[in-house]
Structure 1
Amino acid sequence: MTEQLRLMAVHAHPDDESSKGAAAMAKYSAEGVDVLVVTCTGGERGSVLNPKLDRPEIWQNIAEIRRAEMDRAREILGVRQAWLGFVDSGLPEGDPLPPLPDGCFGLMDPDVAAEPLVELIRSFRPHVITTYDERGGYPHPDHVMTHKVTMAAFEAANDPARFPDKGEPWQPLKLYYNMGWSRKRMTLLHEAMLELTGESPFTEWLKEWSQRSDGEDWPDPDTRVTTKVPCGEFFETRDDALRAHATQVDPEGFWFAVPLNIQQKIWPTEDYELVKSFVETTAPEDDLFTGVR
């Protein structure tokens, strides 16, 4: 190919782009790939997870603050970013779970909600799109809807009969799911931390995973990985972008508990599952643009 490569990453909330595939995006951006993050909601119902910022004035301006945080993270990663404009559903809690708020993203018809994403796909013309698997990566209603909307838009973008006033049809060549914390990755980092310090941030997580031995409630993403993108040198950039979402991330919390040199040694990749491809490729891959370049 002689034209610039383009990558679109579709996420549910501001901060998701910095915790899922951020190092790979920073790597591709540094290599000259045009990277666009699409954020489906404004994160209006997100919690303030940084105890130092859990103050009334933060809660009162959370939507505006999260937009500013997204701007900073985007600059750090070296990517572009677009909002789809849907309203955060919040994470329902309780037994039984309460209904989702009226008008929120999680209650949208995916085929209707796909329209603005189709328009973005046709204008940006990505060669590769990444999003979440059918569980949303984890079962947040906005993450599950992000999956549904992305799948609907991927199918509609090249169909001239769908949304005919939203630009010229375009066929993205590959679609990937982000594959996050696998049990194998967690176990290796857990063992490395025990050897280094005698303590591990993954002890309780692995214990809970073992208790769900049937795997139905908590399947292991590692069994589905087809593509491992080497990007360890961009882990620091990823962490800086994540810290930019200051209301959402405790800078002394779980995400930063394992030293970067340990992560880079033990698991220097970000992992994906290839689910659709219009180019020839063979797994395992080490590049989202295998078969496209």
Structure 2
Amino acid sequence: MLALHAHPDDESSKGAGTMARYAAEGARVILVCATGGEEGEIINPRMDRPGIKDQLPDLRKAELETACDILGVDRIYMLDYRDSGMPDTESNKRPEAFANVDPDEVVARLVEIIRQERPEIVLGYDDSPGYPHPDHLRVHELGTRAYYEAGDPDRFPEAGAPWSPSKLYYFSPFSRRRLQILNDAAQAEGIESPFDERLKQWLEEEWDDPEITAQVDVSDYIELRSKALLAHATQIDPDGFWFAIPDELVKKVYPWEDYTLVHSTVETASPEEDLFEGL
């Protein structure tokens, strides 16, 4: 299994329980991280100290390594492109930003990794209608290309022998349905929900949920997922958004991680409960 992500900490907020589960079950889990997250803010007030911002690239790499150790990831590939920053910021204009790098250069590197690691499953991003970060859009576009082009002997022949993964899934962690269930459960317990305002905003937007075709039960790995998130000490406030709803309540009402199957070389039936179904 190979997971494509944009920044350090994305791996712990999207599909972390899935990686932990399959690693525990014996699968080889590979992570590709496109950027160093240089444009990240210091979200955790405990880490907002003199000198931390200057060390952010090194700190975020170390945080990523710690999180991946927690989740059981076998290997990390850092592409080391520069974080492009949030939409419509000056950082978007940097020529070295990931959003501005030659697409074929990136695809060639991803193809080489896929051919070397030979994963059966690739996990990537959709076109991010709810979070149009330039780097996330780039991972969607170029990761999808690499999935298909890795099996084409005419594309990047210098990158190794062709390999066609069996399945491509997109992460779907923030569907309205999931957030509504968590929101309602929190309010029923008298907990202030972090999703209430977002759900109200979405009601005013013309945006459809992705089609969820697979739900992976990660109930045994939710605490591990939280531990991996906390490893990103510069980015994650232990008293903030990600931990407003207790793990035990999440486990009770929504113990799954959601995916959309984009392509498969094997026969599948929706909904799937196991991403390796049919392999």
TM bracket (short chain) = over 0.9
| 1:22-77 Cα deviation digits (max 9, x unpaired) | 00110000000000011011111211111221223111111111111011001100
Is 1:67 aligned to residue 61 of structure 2? yes
1:86 corresponds to which of 81, 90, 109 = 81
Partner of 1:21: 15
**Corresponding residue of 2:46:** 52
Alignment: residue pair count: 278
Which range is displaced more, 198-207 or 62-71? 198-207
1:191 correspondence with 2:184: yes
Secondary structure of the residue aligned to 2:262 is strand
Deviations 1:70-97 (A, max 9, x none): 1100110010211122111111346xx8
Match of 1:288 among 272, 275, 278: 275
Q: What amino acid is aligned across from residue 87 of structure 1 in structure 2?
A: R
Instruction: Please name the residue that 2:150 is paired with.
Output: 157
Matched, 1:220 2:209: yes
Tell me how large the CA RMSD over aligned residues is.
1.6
> Which consecutive aligned stretches of 4+ in structure 1 deviate over 3 angstroms post-superposition?
none
Conserved in 2, the CA contact under 8 Å of 1:136 and 1:146? no
The 3-state SS of whatever aligns with 2:159 is coil
CA deviation profile, 1:177-216 (whole Å, cap 9, x unmatched) = 000111121112112111212532222122212222x22x
- Give the TM-score normalised by the residue count of structure 1: 0.91
The answer as to whether partners of 2:192 and 2:244 remain within 8 angstroms in 1 is no
Q: Which of 26, 32, 37 is the aligned partner of 1:43?
A: 37
- Residue ranges of structure 1 left out of the alignment (5+ in a row): 1-6
TM-score (norm 2): 0.95
Q: Which one-letter code corresponds to 1:141 in the other structure?
A: P
Structure 2 residue 249 is matched with structure 1 residue 262: yes
User: 1:98: Cα distance to partner?
Assistant: 7.5
Q: Distance in 2 between matches of 1:38 and 1:263?
A: 27
Alpha-carbon distance in 2 for matches of 1:114, 1:29 = 26
1:106 maps to a residue whose letter is A
1:121 alignment partner, one of 97, 114, 120: 114
- Structure 2 CA distance, aligned partners of 1:62 and 1:99? 19
Q: Structure 2 CA distance, aligned partners of 1:149 and 1:271?
A: 22
Q: Using the alignment, how far apart are the partners of 2:9 and 2:93 within structure 1?
A: 21
Q: Using the alignment, how far apart are the partners of 1:198 and 1:261 within structure 2?
A: 13
Percent identity of paired positions between Structure 1 and Structure 2: 48
Work out which of the residue numbers 30, 49, 70 in structure 1 matches 2:24: 30
